[in-house]
Amino acid sequence: MTRLTRTYHGASGATGPLLFLKDTRRVALGEWVEIAQADQPLRRGQVIDAGEDTTVIQVLDETLGLAPARAAIRLTGNVPTAVVGRELLGRSFNGVGQPLDELPPPIGEALLPVAGAPLNPARRLRPTDRIETGVSAIDGLNTLVRGQKLPVFSGPGLPGLELAGRIVEWSRAPGARPFAVIFVGMGLTAREAEHFLDRFQRAGAMERSILYLNQARDPSIERLLAPRFALTQAEYLAFETGLDVLVVMADLTSYCETLREVATARQEIPGRRGFPGSMYTDLATLLERAGIVEGRAGSVTQIPILTMPDDDITHPIPDLTGYITEGQLVLSRELHRRGVEPPIDVLPSLSRLMNAGIGPGRTVPEHREWANQLYASYTQGREARLMAAIVGEAGLSEPDRRALALADRFEKEFIGQQERRDLGQTIAIGWALLESLPRDDLLRLSEPTWDARPSRLTQESR
Amino acid sequence: MSTARLTRVSGALAEAEPLPQCALYELARVGQRGLLAEVIRLRGPTATLQIYEETAGLVLGEPVAPTGAALTVGLGPGLLGSILDGVGRPLGRLAEQSGDFLAPGVTAETLDPESRWAFTPALAAGARVSPGDVLGSVEERPGIRHSILVPPGISGELARLDAGTFSLADPVATLTDGRTLGLVQRWPVRRPRPVARRLPDDRPFVTGQRVFDLLFPAAEGGSIVVPGGFGTGKTVIEQSLAKYGDADIVVYVGCGERGNEMAEVLHEFPRLTDPATGRSLMDRTVMVVNTSNMPVAAREASIYLGITIAEYYRDMGYRVALLADSLSRWAEALREISARLAEMPGEEGYPTYLATRLGQFFERAGRVTALGSPSRTGAVTVVAAVSPPGGDFSEPVTQAALRISGALWALDPALAHQRQFPAVDWSMSYSLYARRLETWFESQAHSDWGELRRETLALLQRGQELRDIAGLVGPEALQGTDRLLLETARVIQEFVLGQSAYDSNDAHSPVAKTALLAGLALQLQRHAQALLASGVAFEQLDLGPVRRALALVRSAPVAAVEARAAEAAFCIAGLSRAAAT
Ligand SMILES: Nc1ncnc2c1ncn2[C@@H]1O[C@H](COP(=O)(O)OP(=O)(O)OP(=O)(O)O)[C@@H](O)[C@H]1O
Ligand SMILES: [Mg+2]
């Protein structure tokens, strides 16, 4: 859509990030707007409600000092677009795609609307290629696959970004092609962003990465566009140039808070905890931009990171995210306190696409049963731990005592790790833990699986 | 009359004027690209429309053209195996026109007008016909007969009715008054299709899931609500029912959920065979797919499209399962539209008519005698997932759904976190159909079905109480009989109710197997109880082998289940010998 630009002199009002125009003609929904005012930097905005009576513009920049009556509002006739292309790899941009690295703006290979279009569900391919992240809690128990969206549910002060950094550093794409990594920072502090980039640099990932950074000090409304610029680029790299793209987005909580800010300014009826009722749909338009397309080579895999306010998983932000994503990795304050790193609590964690990525021909034949058994034994151990806190260990039954011992070791030896582990190592550690229990405690393992356990096989080969 | 023009666009909603002659729920085409929209409010010359496609880029002043018709779907052969969006456009044909990503303004008929079908008449010229009468049939999919029915509202005398191969555009019958009837009839999706009579809910919709068939059975023609927080297993249940539920036809409505899940179904179903008929599962399935990132207004329409298709097959005499995942996304679409209309909000921002609309939808479930002759009995069973925010069932959508449904299958995140699947909270779930269905189960599955059910529930209940006590005093402090009860409750939870969707032998449990497993657990309880009474100590009971034997029954291939069950029974009986030595 390219139409004539029109300039209106003077707006009828403003509140928070919103500007109101009266008696407008031929305005388009989603249209990009530039707002000029003497002695003030040029501001950018977008039409979020087009009406002949009143048109509402969401202003991306700080509105302090904006004087509606004195502003000149130019409707550009275009929806926001992003320059995309392979030459952006290795570079960094702000939330609306302007360079932060002092290099000239990229020319790119195409100009695409950042809103994107929904992928036709009938054209999607079922994701099945396992990504080896090197993290046991993921590879063994919550397998990540190419084209999945798997968020990290962190808490204030918990190492969510750290885990994402590890995943970026350690992940191997199927077929061992390295991932192109797109990092979207939304409302991060300079320290957080730097820390993450540092890891990137050390991993030698910079030249295959693109950064879109909207920091805490940047205009907050820009946050709503940053992930869309990034995902438009990701889709282009994946589906037009055939790359496997990993998109890390942090922090989704800041994004949602900005959504709430706009909704409040529009006087929308607030939903739970003041967040807008349309937040599910809005988040879906970001998170559903992960996947694989029939007949195209690349993929978009997403690892969004969010901070659960007050560690509350029922808070609308983690809740709605969990309803959209294909599982979640939940960090636990208790494990973190006890020094288990990464502090992934595997019980509330889940990868819904795991099954398609594991088993005979993909990982090890017993993967499902092995994982089920670890889950079952660890669950029993955790319950026993709670009970022991009340009645003391002596009050536990024999199997409960064994499970409790297993849970302690599981957290230390399986979940906790400093170095990258390949899947073979992860499976072996799991088996070593399971084999510390008697057969009668391991009912999730079938006879053939039990008969093929590693210790027995090594005995026989001796 | 001057052409109507857009005067406002906000999200999925637009206003246009002048449109003084429009009717409510009339369809219109909006803008240069002709986006599909529906009139939802009229005030003087101003019409408010909900737009079924992406609205970004719509420009004020663009034309709006009413179509004179409501949102209808073409019903006829070719629906089975198809994948439609929320307003009935086949996604495959949309991709042919606009590529891998959906573009606004693309149109495609639900049924391919070019497709040709061999029609066999059931009547002859001179016959008097009235609504619902079977004119004849075509074979829609191998072995699936698709009856061509006289549409509601039409009667007369047949002047002609020809055998032969027809396209969907051809007339197959002519009435003496000159009207013609074809293989397709159109029906407005928001209106229930008429029936002759509603029948009582006295037959089950057998799910193949032990926890439901045994404890909380569904009635054929019933409506069941499945609420649960994220990741508790709603979609896996809906998909299991689509695969193994005892229905002739399945309509699966993916309403505001994930694209990758749909990709999974589309990959899996054509490769799976219907256990009852040996045909590809896709042959009996219609998919309505409006994922979360697709336009929200079409999501609102999708459940009506789905249930209209279900009713149409019901009218042919089929037993249809309508599986909707998730009704909450439908309700949210309703809320989003209502908020933009600036309607007075009810609870949690939902419009005050939420419960009424939900009620109207559930009312379309039922076992019925269809209109017309020959006489046919059909059913639409609705199983609807609900996604309560924060997993809290006190919210309006769950509550409204509960008031009008016949069974609740409540899912519990704690069980899901422990990988206890299906994660059904048996203490909260219920089925109002259970009593009525006992007769059927007792004649078809197990003569003591009602007893099995009640005893199983009682043991679970007792086990729960004891677990609470054990949590305070430790299990070692309990008496032997109580520790046994605790164990039996665990055995029931694990081997009777537990059923993995990924175990190819156990993903579907025939009612006979369900009865066997439940019976074994009760046998264990009775027998071990007797041993304790005779002075054996709880510690002397070696339950390990029994548990292993039960695990073998559970995972046995269908043909071996009975043999394994006999072994397990033997093992239970052997407890006394083991304890005595
Ligand atoms: N019967 C089952 N057998 C084995 N695994 C199951 C079963 N039910 C659920 N699961 C596991 O739980 C995961 C989540 O289930 P599912 O996707 O059905 O949840 P949901 O309730 O639909 O969640 P959401 O509301 O977010 O869509 C599955 O990916 C699977 O790993
Ligand atoms: Mg689901």
Looking at the CA of B416, name the nearest ligand. 1
C-alpha dihedral sign at B497, B498, B500, B505: negative
What is residue A291's three-state secondary structure? strand
- The reply to whether B358 falls in a domain is yes
Residue B96: closest C-alpha in chain A? A123
CATH number at residue B275: 3.40.50.300
Nearest CB partner across the interface for B332, out of A123, A280, A348: A280
What is residue B229's three-state secondary structure? coil
Interchain pair B292, A324: CB under 8 A:
yes
Asked if residue B244 and residue B176 are part of one domain, the reply reads: no
Alpha carbon of B295: minimum distance to chain A alpha carbons (Å) = 9
Average pLDDT on B187-203 reads 96
Asked if residue B467 and residue B418 are part of one domain, the reply reads: no
pLDDT at position B277 is 80
Q: Which amino acid is it at B72?
A: T
Asked if residue A341 has pLDDT above 60, the reply is yes
Cα(A267) to ligand 2 centroid in Å equals 32
A444 lines ligand 1 (CB under 6 A): no
Asked if residue B265 and residue B333 are part of one domain, the reply reads: yes
Asked if residue B209 has pLDDT above 70, the reply is yes
Q: How far is CA B35 from CA B38, B53, B63, B410, B542, in A?
A: 10, 6, 11, 40, 70
- Tokens for A94? 């702000």
Residue A32 parent element (H or E): strand A32-37
Q: Which of B153, B182, B211 is the last residue of a domain?
A: B182
Asked if residue B345 and residue B310 are part of one domain, the reply reads: yes
Q: Which residues surround ligand 2, an ion (CB under 5 A)?
A: B 234-235
Average pLDDT on B207-236 reads 97
- Counting one residue from chain A and one from chain B, the pairs whose CB atoms sit within 8 A come to 238
* Stretch among B210-224, B264-278, B556-570 having the lowest mean pLDDT: B264-278
- Tokens for B230? 């994220």
Strand pairing partners for A113? A81
Average pLDDT on B178-183 reads 96
Crossing angle of the two packed helices B480-491 and B544-555, in degrees rounded to 10? 20
Q: Which amino acid is it at B287?
A: M
What is residue A169's three-state secondary structure? helix
- The reply to whether B301 falls in a domain is yes
Asked if residue B30 and residue B64 are part of one domain, the reply reads: yes
- In whole angstroms, give the CA distance from residue B540 to residue B536: 7
Average pLDDT on A235-246 reads 96
C-alpha dihedral sign at B108, B110, B111, B113: negative
Query: Phi and psi for A71 in degrees, rounded to 5?
Result: -85, 145
Contact (CB, 8 A) for B23 and B38: no
Asked if residue B419 and residue B550 are part of one domain, the reply reads: no
Q: How many CB atoms lie within 10 A of CB B499?
A: 23
Cα(B391) to ligand 1 centroid in Å equals 14
- The reply to whether B98 falls in a domain is no
Q: How many CB atoms lie within 10 A of CB B373?
A: 14
Alpha carbon of B138: minimum distance to chain A alpha carbons (Å) = 27
What is the 8-class DSSP label of residue A118? P
Asked if residue B464 and residue B342 are part of one domain, the reply reads: no
Cα(B363) to ligand 1 centroid in Å equals 28
Residue B389: closest C-alpha in chain A? A319
| A40-89 confidence digits (pLDDT tens) | 999 999 999 999 999 999 999 989 999 999 999 999 999 999 999 999 99
Residue that has been written with the tokens 């939802």 in this structure: B40
Asked if residue B172 and residue B136 are part of one domain, the reply reads: yes
Asked if residue B462 and residue B428 are part of one domain, the reply reads: no
Contact (CB, 8 A) for A35 and A66: yes
CATH number at residue B491: 1.10.1140.10
Contact (CB, 8 A) for B40 and B341: yes
- In whole angstroms, give the CA distance from residue A68 to residue A36: 10
Q: Which amino acid is it at B168?
A: L
Q: Which amino acid is it at B192?
A: P
Q: What ipTM does this complex have?
A: 0.93
Residues of chain B found within 8 Å of residue A27, distances taken between Cβ atoms: 59-60
- In whole angstroms, give the CA distance from residue B370 to residue B380: 12
- Tokens for A38? 């003497």
Nearest CB partner across the interface for B474, out of A117, A270, A396: A396
Please give the full DSSP string across B343-383, using - where no structure is assigned. Answer: PPB-GGG-BTTHHHHHHHHHTT-EEEEPSSSS--EEEEEEE
Residue B55: closest C-alpha in chain A? A29
Interchain pair A271, B231: CB under 8 A:
no
Pocket test for ligand 1, best of B332, B421, B503 (most atoms within 8 A of CB): B421
Alpha carbon of A198: minimum distance to chain B alpha carbons (Å) = 33
Indicate which of B230, B328, B500, B547 best probes the interface with A, i.e. most A CBs within 10 Å of its own CB.
Answer: B230
Residues of chain B found within 8 Å of residue A396, distances taken between Cβ atoms: 474-476
Asked if residue B41 has pLDDT above 90, the reply is yes
Q: Which amino acid is it at B187?
A: W
- In whole angstroms, give the CA distance from residue B525 to residue A161: 51
Q: Which domains does chain A have, with CATH numbers?
A: 6-75 (2.40.30.20), 81-356 (3.40.50.12240), 367-461 (no CATH)
Alpha carbon of A206: minimum distance to chain B alpha carbons (Å) = 30
- In whole angstroms, give the CA distance from residue B425 to residue B414: 9
Contact (CB, 8 A) for A382 and A398: no
Crossing angle of the two packed helices B354-362 and B396-404, in degrees rounded to 10? 40
What is residue A110's three-state secondary structure? strand
Average pLDDT, chain B: 94
Q: Which of B158, B182, B206 is the last residue of a domain?
A: B182
- Residue (of A148, A119, A124) closest to A302 by Cα position: A148
Interchain pair A51, B7: CB under 8 A:
yes
Asked if residue A462 has pLDDT above 50, the reply is no
- In whole angstroms, give the CA distance from residue A32 to residue A45: 6
- The reply to whether B227 falls in a domain is yes
What is the 8-class DSSP label of residue A293? B
Higher pLDDT, A198 or A242: A242
- Residue (of B482, B460, B453) closest to B415 by Cα position: B460
Higher pLDDT, B272 or A343: A343
Residue B209 alpha carbon, nearest atom of ligand 1: 1
Domain of B149 in residue numbering reads as 112-182
Please give the full DSSP string across A172-236, using - where no structure is assigned. Answer: B-GGGPPPEEEEEEEEE-HHHHHHHHHHHHHTT-GGGEEEEEEETTS-GGGGGTHHHHHHHHHHI
Query: Phi and psi for B185 in degrees, rounded to 5?
Result: -125, 145
- Strand duo B249-255 + B319-325: pairing: parallel
| B522-541 confidence digits (pLDDT tens) | 999 999 999 999 999 998 99
| A440-449 confidence digits (pLDDT tens) | 899 899 989 9
- In whole angstroms, give the CA distance from residue A407 to residue A415: 10
Rg of chain A, C-alpha, whole Å = 25
Query: Phi and psi for A435 in degrees, rounded to 5?
Result: -75, -5
Q: Which amino acid is it at A291?
A: G
What is residue B211's three-state secondary structure? helix
Asked if residue B404 and residue B306 are part of one domain, the reply reads: yes
Residue B258: closest C-alpha in chain A? A324
Q: How many CB atoms lie within 10 A of CB A84?
A: 25
Contact (CB, 8 A) for B83 and B91: yes
- Tokens for B238? 């809906």
B232 lines ligand 1 (CB under 6 A): yes
- The reply to whether B265 falls in a domain is yes
Strand pairing partners for B138? B119, B146
Q: Counting every residue, how long is chain B? A: 581
- The reply to whether B107 falls in a domain is no
How does residue A177 score in pLDDT terms, banded at 50, 70 and 90? confident
Contact (CB, 8 A) for A242 and A123: no
Indicate which of A1, A120, A387 best probes the interface with B, i.e. most B CBs within 10 Å of its own CB.
Answer: A120
Closest C-alpha to ligand 1, atom 25 = B230
What is the 8-class DSSP label of residue B407? E
Asked if residue B379 and residue B272 are part of one domain, the reply reads: yes
Asked if residue B32 has pLDDT above 80, the reply is yes
Average pLDDT on B469-481 reads 86
pLDDT at position B581 is 54
CATH number at residue B45: 2.40.30.20
Number of domains in chain B: 4
- In whole angstroms, give the CA distance from residue B298 to residue B87: 6
| B80-121 confidence digits (pLDDT tens) | 999 999 999 999 999 999 999 999 989 899 999 999 999 999
How does residue A302 score in pLDDT terms, banded at 50, 70 and 90? very high
Percent of chain A with pLDDT over 90: 77
CB burial readout B316-332, b (16+ within 10 A) else e: bbbbbbbbbbbbbbbbb
- In whole angstroms, give the CA distance from residue A331 to residue A327: 13
Residue B555: closest C-alpha in chain A? A446
- The reply to whether B440 falls in a domain is no
| B406-459 confidence digits (pLDDT tens) | 999 999 999 999 999 999 999 999 999 999 999 999 998 888 999 999 999 999
Looking at the CA of B230, name the nearest ligand. 1
Q: How far is CA B451 from CA A275, A377, B60, B510, B516, in A?
A: 49, 33, 68, 19, 13
Interchain pair B231, A122: CB under 8 A:
no
- Omega before residue A251 within 30° of 0, cis: yes
- In whole angstroms, give the CA distance from residue B136 to residue A154: 62
Residues 6+ apart with CB under 8 A from A201: none
Q: HSE on the CB side for B256, CA within 13 Å?
A: 28
Residues of chain B found within 8 Å of residue A322, distances taken between Cβ atoms: 229-231
- The reply to whether B86 falls in a domain is no
Asked if residue B407 and residue B509 are part of one domain, the reply reads: no
pLDDT at position B577 is 64
pLDDT at position A460 is 60
Residue B502 buriedness (CB in 10 A; 0-12 / 13-18 / 19+): middle
Residue B146 parent element (H or E): strand B144-149
Q: Which of B380, B403, B432 is the last residue of a domain?
A: B432
Q: How far is CA B476 from CA A346, A398, A404, B289, B481, in A?
A: 29, 9, 16, 53, 12
